[in-house]
A and B are shown apart, each in its own frame.
Chain A
């Protein structure tokens, strides 16, 4: 039972980060190869705070969230202001992630590449509570005017500007919110695994987050949530095939782009499907 619970909790933690990236990539249309860095910042900020100063967990999570959000400004302000091509932006944020990993390995209070052992504070209440709150806030944001502004920016940045949208501020907001969610995810992850190491937050992890968002569907939250959950459970169900998991993700990305670029739930939510189904019944 404990074993299953542990897997489900890790899946929930992963879902928070995927929700963050879904806002940024799926709704705002910017491709990121570095979101694992924000998970890492959340993990290390909260980890260092509980490890060295025994801060209450709620404050550690908040600090992780704030640090991830704030650090996204460092990379976001210059690159988004310059309106970089989407692939340039992706590579710039990848560079940011790499630079962060190198720094984490060399900072005095992170214990370097050997990693940091922490207390296991993320119990079920914390994890599920955080997931519910995060999804509620995400939902609020996306049904507000910002959801429409994000989508307009995704569909056509030039036309969006000509509709009076401040491209820079809209994209930056999307980035900060998504980074903050990744930060929460990182803080929970660190205190669930009770151990963190810089290599846990590299390109591979960023790509996995991205795979969930894309397979789940651009412009959708429920799709990526379902896929993130499945992706987190599958490797446990197929233990022996673990080493084939990453090649399979890669292949999946190619196949999705080739045959169903909108993902399983492209540009709609579960609720939309229910609504349509009900209409058909009537």
Chain B
């Protein structure tokens, strides 16, 4: 029973991690919280749903389509809502309000066009069960967990080992310096948004399979945001660890205490963390220049 809860928690945590990575990536380079990320995740789930039910594609193609679609959406989101602000060095508050607006726009556009119906994903995994050490674990949970961790490790390798990844890290350190060195910052930022979107795409599919596809499903990303804060906004390993911790804690709470209290608990953790450990578990100590 406990192992089962743990795996469910880890798999939920893996999905949180996927979403948190998107927040962290964007935060690390533009230092603002991209509240529109949730809407991108929601749209990616709809893309996946359309590919699966209308085009009858297999799981691999559905994921690919959703990843590419979400990546493109995320880049468009940046071009449309943030690029102008970024160029005139607007305060991060403005970027955040713009992000809020974007999320409101996208979510309600879906309401207005597709409607508020809850759509189920086709049963890619059925209710297949694997038995490990006497506990029965759902295949979906195991698969979600492994894919999430795999994707994040791949991202980590990309950022630490490839030339493009190193350019991103340089951008994180100092955007102005980067542009002085001849790096095309617009392209760099588009790349970062594409990556964040791609991860949103994977997360959207898993969320959709796990629950349903509906306009406000992006709200779950509030949790992802919490996960990113737990790990330290801007830190990729932090986002992964934060996501897993939150997923496990939440599952434990809803199994052993009360599922109503789960959300209250997450937000209490968030507030407590922000106050006592504002840099999270793995975030760098930020020093405001005075």
Contact = CB atoms under 8 A, between A and B. Distances in A.
Contact of B222 (A98, A211, A243): A98
Contacts of A207: 100, 104
B100 A95 contact: no
9 contacts: A79-B275, A87-B96, A90-B96, A95-B271, A99-B267, A102-B260, A253-B104, A257-B94, A257-B98
B105 A250 contact: yes
Contacts, number: 127
Interface in B71-85: 80-81, 84-85
B55 interface: no
B120 interface: no
Contact of B270 (A91, A103, A249, A257): A91
Interface of B: 32-33, 80-81, 84-85, 90, 92-98, 100-109, 111-112, 219, 222, 225-226, 229, 260, 263-264, 266-268, 270-271, 274-276, 278, 288, 290
Interface of A: 29, 31, 33, 75, 78-79, 81-82, 84-88, 90-92, 94-96, 98-99, 102-103, 106, 158, 203-204, 207, 210-211, 214, 243-244, 246-247, 249-254, 257-258, 261
Contact of B278 (A29, A84, A91, A99): A84
Given A75-B271, A243-B111, A250-B103, 4 more contacts: A82-B275, A106-B260, A258-B98, A261-B94
With most chain A CB atoms within 10 A of its CB, the pick from B104, B219, B229 is: B104
B111 A246 contact: yes
A99 B105 contact: no
Nearest to B98: A257
Nearest to B268: A99
With most chain B CB atoms within 10 A of its CB, the pick from A87, A203, A246 is: A87
A244 B275 contact: no
A112 B271 CA distance: 25
B290 A253 contact: no
A252 to B, nearest CB: 7
Nearest to B90: A261
B263 A257 contact: no
Contacts of B275: 78-79, 81-82, 84
A258 B268 CA distance: 34
Given A87-B33, A87-B96, A102-B263, A246 B108 contact: yes
Contacts of A253: 97-98, 100-101, 104
B100 A210 contact: yes
A250 B271 contact: no
A246 B215 CA distance: 13
Contacts of A249: 101, 104
Contacts of A211: 101
A210 B268 contact: no
A133 to B, nearest CB: 30
A210 B109 CA distance: 19
Contact of B101 (A85, A88, A96, A257): A257
